[in-house]
Amino acid sequence: MTQETAAPAKRRLHPGLKFALEMGPLVLFFIVNQKFGIFQATAALMVAVLATLAVSYSITRHLPTMPMVTAIFVLVFGSLTFFLQDENFIKLKVTILYALFGSALLGALWFDKLLLPAVFESAFRLDDAGWRKLTWRWAFFFFFLALLNELVRRSVATDVWVNFKVFGILPLTLLFAFAQIPLMMRHEQKEEGGEEPDSHF
């Protein structure tokens, strides 16, 4: 009789590669905009986002939720921007995407569901109280970014908005993420037996 074999552990991206895949399209968007303008930059962003998803899937054999949703928004609003030659669509994408993320987090919480464990793919284990606090914080941070993007996109030129997207939103997000470390440490659940946590996807 053969024993049932355990399911193989799902492959994960190396943190350095994951960071490069997340930042690469944004950096390319900035560089192409500086040299050729917003419409060519938008086209480059769409291609880069598809390429990063392809690389991620080829390694892990699954597509994380947030990058996939982001890619869909980039493709939809990017296509509208490029084919209608109206940069307002790619700017508005940021507002709608962050508002959607915030609404999804709070909406799931309303139904007593936690989305962040799936978003972070079990990179850390927190108790339910920790996940709930973190959910509230990230939700309101996303709403803040949506509002901030609306204020900036309505009041500055496109090149200035691109700089804000790269050198404003990104540092703010990193600072906010680092600021959550004390909360996460307080609510961390230690692994029993030192086993690797399973991925939600």
> What beta strand segments (E) does the chain contain?
none
Residue 6 lies in a domain: no
Token digits for 17?
């590669």
Contact 53, 67 (CB under 8 A): yes
How many domains is the chain partitioned into structurally?
A: 1
Residue 194 lies in a domain: no
Q: How many CB atoms lie within 10 A of CB 33?
A: 24
Query: Which pLDDT belongs to residue 48?
Result: 95
Query: Which pLDDT belongs to residue 179?
Result: 96
CA neighbor of 127 nearest in space, from 188, 198, 186: 188
Domain that residue 44 falls in: 15-186
Residue 175 lies in a domain: yes
Q: Which residues lie across from 188 on neighbouring strands?
A: 126
Mention every residue, 6+ apart, whose C-beta is less than 8 A from residue 134.
116, 126, 180, 183, 184
Residue 101 lies in a domain: yes
Mention every residue, 6+ apart, whose C-beta is less than 8 A from residue 184.
124, 126, 130, 134
Q: How many CB atoms lie within 10 A of CB 16?
A: 8
Token digits for 86?
């109206």
CA neighbor of 54 nearest in space, from 11, 92, 21: 21
Query: Which pLDDT belongs to residue 117?
Result: 83
Residue 83 lies in a domain: yes
Token digits for 142?
């996303």
Contact 26, 166 (CB under 8 A): yes
Mention every residue, 6+ apart, whose C-beta is less than 8 A from residue 193.
none
Query: Which pLDDT belongs to residue 191?
Result: 63
CA neighbor of 146 nearest in space, from 169, 162, 163: 169
**For the chain, which ranges sit under pLDDT 50?**
1-7, 193-201
Rg (Cα) of the chain, in Å, rounded?
A: 19
Query: Which pLDDT belongs to residue 59?
Result: 85
Contact 117, 130 (CB under 8 A): no
Distance (Å, whole) CA 10 – CA 199: 7
Residue 123 lies in a domain: yes
Distance (Å, whole) CA 49 – CA 56: 11
